[in-house]
A and B are shown apart, each in its own frame.
Chain A
Amino acid sequence: MMPGFVLFLISSLTLATVYALVALALNFEAGVDGLWDLGVVSFFAAGAYAYAILTVGPPDQMQVYRLGFGLPLWIGVIGAAGAGTLVAYLIGRASLHLKHVYYLITTFAFAEVIREVLTNERWLTNGTAGMYRMAQPFKSSFETNLYPLVLLLVMVAILVVVFIALNRVTKRPFGRALNALRENEDLAATAGMAPYRYHLRSAMIAGAVAGIAGACYVWFNTVIVPQQFTSSITFVAWTVIVVGGLGNNRGAVLGAFLLILTEDVLRLFDLSSTVAVRVASARVAVIGLILMAVLRWRPRGVLPEKRPRFSRSEALVPAEAPAQGLQQVGSGE
């Protein structure tokens, strides 16, 4: 049996992993690309509910939802990614042809709409009573008291895979194109890039990643209720990437662990109920203080975005290239 402190730490780390995934998603669209999303929680919620509906069993007598496919959990995760992508596509399609501020407004509004839908469409979500007994990965293969650690490892593995994938794309021409659009959209268009197409893709990628994070969140909680998906998730994710370093994938992960662990440390102390209430509200203040401190002393985050340095091409390309290059300078096709 693991001691309470260790269990607590594992639980905090698991939650931090979920936030790291959301932060990576947000960082991709808002940091690598320049789309300010104030409703990343809607991708997250869509993913979580898609996972829940696909994997949960049929309802019991107390529940009113009609669907509950009881499908294998990996299908649930794919469905979660798909649902997040779909929501991003719908929002993006409606708003990305316009100026970016409209994306911000639409995402913000959509986040409220989706929570209302989740609350009121009880046939689908069981309303505020929520759904429970959620399928967790490898649950039956391990002892109950060891399982939190297993779940943490599974989620860390997902985080590592997502991180590698996003970081790879960020550093390659696709990510560079998004950076360029973020920096100067008019100029990027004269390079032959259709801004809408790139923005829609970055939003959909963010949607997929946040959707997967939603499935992880369901594993972590084992129940799902609409109240879990308030806008505070969006704002924590924003704080995380601003503290970590906007545009830097490592920063997003580091920021998530930094913030969530700091926040949770305040829960560690055994307190009387009256003090506990005060400490709980102090947690928000602590996050705010961290944000202010970072903005004051490290305005580009703990790990600022770094540009890649390329070594001179002479070292990279064999001798024939420079001569060829000379002819190519400015030559029309």
Chain B
Amino acid sequence: MLETREVSKHFGGVKAVNGVSLMVEEYAIVGLIGPNGAGKTTLFSVISGALSLTSGRVSFEGADISGHRPWEIAEKGVVRTFQTPRGFPRMSVLENMLVFASERTTGFWKNLLAGGRLSAEERRNISRADEILSSVGLLDRRNVLVEELSAGELKLLEFARPLMAKPKMLLLDEPAAGVNPALLEHVVTYITQLRNNGLTFFIVDHNLGFIMDICDHLYVMADGELICSGAPDAVACDPNVIESYIGTKTETTV
């Protein structure tokens, strides 16, 4: 469904991402791990269009999307989340949802000339938003400003928001970071459930327990390059992975 071929992103002499080729199959939950500075988030930004790529090719559903702008990629059904969730701070939770509604009429003239207080479209979007909010337990907070949410609630909203766009694929950047164990369990169930409903996931995270738990397939990056890939269990035993996370024997004895 999503494929990167020899994707590189260089910042001057720094090769943040260097020749990465990977593939995410439809309805899969694919993980991407690696130590800090491995280039995971940079790769995400390249895929989602936030950063231009130095070389290589990104394709989604067979169509080349390399070099497309973030909103074009979003329109194709690939929606990313951000490492540090901030949302739209001075807007209500419900408004945060509505901004992402897949069907929305945002033309100036149409908005100006339409009659009535709430359009039928708006009502449909509100009811969908309420439905999603109640599934993550945020329905009671719908009229609260996002800047007033707790960190946990903000994290939950981060999952709920992109669903309004009816995406085909979600790129989650560290969904487990700063999430307490009880909530994490909830997140795992939620992601699995969404996948069963037809969503595809590509997830970057540091929480190995979480990522081993949830993913069908793992990629491991270090220093901008892909060093290993495979089923979670196999990857965990790979000497390259162990080396990049905790170092080699010789290094530790020196």
A-B pairs with lowest CB-CB distance, top 5: A325-B131, A313-B127, A183-B88, A189-B70, A172-B111
Residues of A within 8 A of B (CB): 165, 168-169, 172-177, 179-180, 183-184, 186-195, 198, 201, 205, 305, 307-310, 312-314, 316-317, 321-322, 325-326, 328-333
Interface centre among A179, A312, A329 (most CB of B within 10 A): A329
Q: A173-B104, A190-B71 are in contact. List 5 more A-B contacts (CB 8 A).
A: A172-B122, A192-B165, A307-B92, A313-B131, A330-B132
Q: Give 6 A-B contacts (CB < 8 Å), ordered by A residue.
A: A180-B88, A187-B87, A188-B99, A313-B131, A328-B128, A330-B193
CB pair A313 B99 closer than 8 Å:
no
Flag B107-126 by CB within 8 Å of A: 1 or 0 each: 11001101000100011101
CB pair B199 A186 closer than 8 Å:
no
A310 to chain B, nearest CB (A): 6
Residues 144-188 of B contacting A (Cβ, < 8 Å): 145, 162-163, 165-168
**Chain B residues in 8 Å Cβ range of A187:** 82, 86-88
Interface of A is mostly: helix
**Chain B residues in 8 Å Cβ range of A194:** 69, 71
**Chain B residues in 8 Å Cβ range of A205:** 108
CB pair A307 B135 closer than 8 Å:
no
CB pair A173 B106 closer than 8 Å:
yes
CB pair A309 B127 closer than 8 Å:
no
Interface size, B (range): 35 or more
CB pair A316 B126 closer than 8 Å:
yes
CB pair A193 B71 closer than 8 Å:
yes
B68 to chain A, nearest CB (A): 11
CB pair A191 B74 closer than 8 Å:
yes
| Alpha-carbon gap, A175 to B108, bound state (A) | 9
Interface centre among A192, A201, A205, A308 (most CB of B within 10 A): A192
**Chain B residues in 8 Å Cβ range of A313:** 123, 126-127, 129-131
CB pair B108 A317 closer than 8 Å:
no
User: Does residue B207 face the partner (Cβ distance < 8 Å to A)?
Assistant: no
CB pair B123 A307 closer than 8 Å:
no
User: Does residue B241 face the partner (Cβ distance < 8 Å to A)?
Assistant: no
CB pair B77 A333 closer than 8 Å:
yes
Residue of A nearest to B128 (CB): A325
CB pair A310 B142 closer than 8 Å:
yes
User: Does residue B6 face the partner (Cβ distance < 8 Å to A)?
Assistant: no
CB pair A179 B88 closer than 8 Å:
yes
